[in-house]
Amino acid sequence: MEALIWIGVTALIIALPLWLPRWRLKRALAHPLPAGALDILGRNVPIYARMPAELQAHLQRLVAQFLYQKRFIGCDGLEVDDEMRLTIAGQACLLLLNRHTKVYPELHTILVYPSEFLVERSEVGPGGVITETEDGLLGESWGDGRVILAWDHVQRGAADWSDGSNVVLHEFAHQLDSESGAPNGAPFLGDAANYHSWAAVLSRDYANLRYDAIYRQPSVLDHYGASNPAEFFAVATETFFEKPHQMAERHGALYGELQKYYRVDPRAWLAPPEPQRDPRDYAEHR
């Protein structure tokens, strides 16, 4: 009898470290977000109010888990408050709607600066000469479980959801990209067959954007996406959520690939832009 008791106690001790975190998470998610939190989501995630109720509820659960599992640290004297946490979590979790995935499992810390921050880099030049430089950045996603954001640009992204520029969407797209290994513009897509169409479409549109950037041609995609495939995926993600109608019209196949991956259609949440008249039309009526 004593042997059986000891076996049971030993099994409990072994299982406790695995069971306790899940129990704590379940307990944390049992309580809905307070009304004040929903007001912040409504203000700073502009498409939230236009989502169907079931997607709003899903986003709330994702945000609650994000806030429970991730640590926020203010930098350069910035004191992180609930509005900052909820705004960043709300925008980041848009990328997880309707998807069977954990909430950024490799991410543990979000560093928030008041504005542009400096990052030191080492550049190897001709002859192996190493030069130390400093780059001013608005956001960065690191492979060690950290994302860095400039709060004033997070606010700017929340204030204008039509310019195709959003530092939170951009950096958290990098986090998703990294889940398949090195960030290379191909996040984890599940079935191997999905990579064939993904590679064909994104490679073609990436090459086209590089052409547009070189020859300074206008594009619905920011030219920064021509830097490399990882930046192309992040820029395409920003455009997908903020300029869905324009992207679907001009990059239909790319929009289709992102729609399959993100499993939402942001066109349902945003009104199409006003058609722009050709300046020659005005001349004909003068």
Alpha helices, DSSP H only, in the chain? 2-29, 35-44, 53-69, 82-93, 151-159, 167-178, 194-214, 229-242, 244-250, 252-262, 279-284
Which H helix or E strand runs over 130?
Answer: strand 130-137
Query: What integer pLDDT is reported at residue 82 of this predicted model?
Result: 96
CB atoms within 10 A of CB 188: 14
Strand partners, 113: 150
If pLDDT is split at 50, 70 and 90, which confidence band does 200 have? very high
Of 53-67, 123-137, 214-228, the least confident: 123-137
Mean pLDDT of 66-90: 97
Q: Do 135 and 119 contact (CB within 8 A), yes or no? A: yes
- Interior angle at CA 89, CA 68 and CA 269, nearest 5: 135
DSSP 176-208: HHHTTSS-SS----SSTTHHHHHHHHHHHHHHH
Alpha carbon distance 95, 86 (integer Å): 15
DSSP 12-36: HHHHHHHHHHHHHHHHHHTSPPPHH
Higher pLDDT, 245 or 10: 245
Query: What integer pLDDT is reported at residue 136 of this predicted model?
Result: 74
Mean pLDDT of 90-106: 94
Q: Residue 78, exposed/middle/buried by CB under 10 A (0-12, 13-18, 19+)? A: middle
Q: Do 222 and 238 contact (CB within 8 A), yes or no? A: yes
- Interior angle at CA 269, CA 274 and CA 186, nearest 5: 105
Query: What integer pLDDT is reported at residue 73 of this predicted model?
Result: 98
Alpha carbon distance 35, 261 (integer Å): 31
Query: What integer pLDDT is reported at residue 78 of this predicted model?
Result: 97
Place of tokens 């400096």: 118
Strand partners, 139: 149
Q: Tokens for 66, please give them.
A: 């994000």
Query: What integer pLDDT is reported at residue 56 of this predicted model?
Result: 97
Mean pLDDT of 154-178: 96
Yes or no: domain 29-123+130-274 corresponds to CATH 3.40.390.10? yes
If pLDDT is split at 50, 70 and 90, which confidence band does 282 have? very low
pTM of structure: 0.85
Rg (CA), the chain: 22
